[in-house]
């Protein structure tokens, strides 16, 4: 499994953009990069995923480095509800791999949003 490195914690002010980095230098060429977040006292929820190109959805944007060794989750305007632990998870895209289907959560980044 690809190892990931994320900052332990980050802080932001409400209404400001937030850039959450993730290093995954050992990522396989076929691994997708997934992001999940976990709000306090809740189960994780899916945020976004991508392979090579930058991706956007209603929750966030995902910027993937050209060499794929790092990625950045972008929250365009942080709200208090975005305060959560954010997990970056490389995950194989091919069904034949032994780790397919099993999300591996690291410790993630604790995001604090100030009013």
Partner 1 sequence: NAGVTQTPKFRILKIGQSMTLQCTQDMNHNYMYWYRQDPGMGLKLIYYSVGAGITDKGEVPNGYNVSRSTTEDFPLRLELAAPSQTSVYFCASSYRLGSYEQYFGPGTRLTVT
Q: Which residues are at the interface with partner 1 (CB under 8 A)?
A: 32, 34, 41-46, 49, 87, 91-93, 95, 100-108
- In the bound complex, what is the minimum distance in angstroms from residue 14's beta carbon to partner 1? 26
Please say whether the beta carbons of 20 and 111 come within 8 A: yes
Q: Which of 20, 8, 15, 33 is nearest to 91 (CA)?
A: 33
Block residue for tokens 């397919």: 100
The residue among 14 and 99 lying less far from partner 1, judged by its C-beta, is: 99
Select 13 or 104, whichever has its Cβ closest to partner 1.
104
The distance of closest approach from Cβ of residue 48 to partner 1 in the complex, given in angstroms and rounded to an integer, is 9
């Amino acid at each position: 499994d690809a190892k990931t490195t994320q900052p332990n914690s980050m802080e932001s002010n409400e209404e400001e953009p937030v850039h959450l980095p993730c290093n995954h230098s050992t990522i396989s060429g076929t691994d997708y990069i997934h992001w999940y977040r976990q709000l306090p006292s809740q189960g994780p929820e899916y945020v976004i995923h991508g392979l090579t190109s930058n991706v956007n959805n209603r929750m966030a944007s995902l910027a993937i480095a050209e060499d794929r060794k790092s990625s950045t989750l972008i929250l365009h305007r942080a709200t208090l509800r975005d305060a959560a632990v954010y997990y970056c998870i490389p995950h194989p895209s091919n069904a034949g791999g032994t780790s397919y289907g099993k999300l591996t959560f690291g410790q993630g980044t604790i995001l604090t949003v100030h009013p």
